[in-house]
Amino acid sequence: MGMVWDQNKISFRKLGKTDLPMIHKWLNFTEVAKWVKWDDKDYPSLEFVERHWIPRIRGSDPTKCYIVIYDKTQIAFIQSVLIEDNPRYKEAFGLGGDTVAIDIFIGEGEYIHKGLGSLIIRAFLRNIVFKVYDVDACIIDPEPTNKIAIRAYEKTGFRYSHQAWNTEDKAEAYIMTINRESV
């Protein structure tokens, strides 16, 4: 029997500069590093993390980044971006601009593979994505071999759409979509 999670204990706060050492630690955690690559590298340096995330924190990059909190414990990272604001994704994935893309990773080991991911994503869709953006659809793009993530996204209500080459991550992307009405 798995953990019983309380959806009401999930909250989000905007990512800040002081969070970057924690993000760095999470990205270097083996369970995260095996799926998240940056410029063809796993295990990024703190300097790389700062270069990548500071534009998002300052707002010069349109990606909105959040820390996921479960009952006062910071456990994960989640982000969203309007596809229209990322022309490379729009072209590579063959999507319309009225779609938001999200990404997530759980960085605290005791919260991984415990059935919490789908609850976090559902809360994020309800409380952030479909409130902040005037869109009808959201996508997520795991690697096709990341079966655990795909299962969590299916539990959330995402459905397979198509595969495409992710030019940013230089990896095959298993595009999954959920509509506003499904949340």
Beta-carbon contacts of 64 under 8 Å, excluding residues fewer than 6 positions away, are: 14, 56, 79, 80, 81, 128, 132
| Confidence band for 50, pLDDT divided at 50, 70 and 90 | very high
Torsion of CA 34, 147, 101, 13, to 10 degrees: -70
Q: Tell me, what's the pLDDT at 1?
A: 44
Q: Tell me, what's the pLDDT at 92?
A: 82
Q: Tell me, what's the pLDDT at 2?
A: 57
The per-residue pLDDT of the chain, averaged, comes to: 91
Mean pLDDT, range 98-103, rounded to an integer: 93
Q: What is the CATH number of domain 7-182?
A: 3.40.630.30
Domain boundaries, given as residue ranges, for the chain: 7-182
Q: Tell me, what's the pLDDT at 40?
A: 60
Q: What is the pLDDT of residues 119-178, one digit of tens each?
A: 999 999 999 999 999 999 999 999 999 999 999 999 999 999 999 988 777 788 999 999
**What's the pTM value of the predicted model, to 2 decimals?**
0.93
Separation CA 81–CA 129 (nearest Å): 9
